Amino acid sequence: MQITKNIEIIDLCLFLTKSKTLIIPDVHIGYEEALNKQGILIPRTQFVEIMKNIEKIIKQIKKKFKRINKIVIMGDLKHEFGIISETEWRQTLRFLDFLIKYCQNITLIRGNHDKILGPIAKKRELNIEEHVIIDDVYLTHGHQLPKSKLKAEKQLLKTIKTIIIGHEHAAITLRDGPRVEKFKCFLKGKWKPEKKLLTKSFDLIVMPSFNPIIEGTDVLKEALLSPFLKKANIKTFETFIVGDKVYNFGKISRILKKK
């Protein structure tokens, strides 16, 4: 489904059709191991699910768009803050090696969980960036805003129409009779920076988490994480729910009226 011009939703990922760029949101490799250490025991099958899903997505893209020219991982590739566990080393490298088979042009965006991602990136000669600009699209993790004091940042944003972020792990909870279920979703709305940065507004797209056991933030009722969303009028954002396919549920204000 097209979320905006030249940007398609492919399952839990986005694809920039003009530049043929695959955008993968928060993967959080090692999250199940972290939960197990906390005494929350879950089956160690999540990485298998992650690999199956990314393979399915890549096959869909290659079938429809023929090739992938670039891959951007939107931050929080691994989960642990202060260490790289043995599992994270093994699984993160396996995930990257799988992607490299299909596209060698891969960039990692730094997320708030990526404080020590450097050794893994170096192992595969990959760059870690704070943000990436492709055509008129600005890609950043979403845990911090562009720096208003940097002239270079202001100049870059003048050419931008759309900002894409992760970090929020966007989701909404829907009720169907007695059944209540939380769904991962994409959000699309407007974001206007502080006047000292720029006076223009941008289209803002918020991505869900790629990890199957991270349900995400229910944007209908939970506190929002990203500073991009904290001052935005969230009720005006459109929702695109990911289930067996992608469903456009319209604006959040409309969903709230039905609850």
Nearest by Cα to 70 from 147, 16, 128, 109: 16
Question: How many residues appear in the chain?
Answer: 259
Q: How far apart are CA 259 and CA 250, in angstroms?
A: 14
Task: Give the pLDDT of residue 152.
Answer: 65
Tokens matching residue 98: 């799988």
Give the pLDDT of residue 150. Answer: 57
The encoded tokens of residue 175 equal 């009720």
Cβ-defined contacts of 221-226 (< 8 Å, 24+): 221/173, 224/168, 225/143, 225/167, 225/168, 225/169, 226/142, 226/143, 226/165, 226/167, 226/168
Q: What is the pLDDT of residue 69?
A: 98
| Choice between 216 and 198, residue whose per-residue pLDDT is larger | 216
Residues 6+ apart with CB under 8 A from 71: 21, 22, 23, 24, 99, 102, 103, 105, 106, 107
- How confident is residue 80, by pLDDT bands cut at 50, 70 and 90? confident
Report whether pLDDT(207) > 80.
yes
pTM of the entire structure?
Answer: 0.93
pLDDT single digits (tens) 135-162:
999 999 999 988 755 566 667 778 899 9
Q: What's residue 131's pLDDT? A: 93
Taking all residues of the chain, what is their mean pLDDT, rounded to a whole number?
90
CA dihedral 209→212→216→219, nearest 10 degrees, is 80
Predicted confidence at residue 179, as pLDDT, reads 84
Instruction: Report pLDDT digits (tens) over 155-205.
Output: 777 889 999 999 999 999 988 778 889 999 999 999 988 766 666 789 999
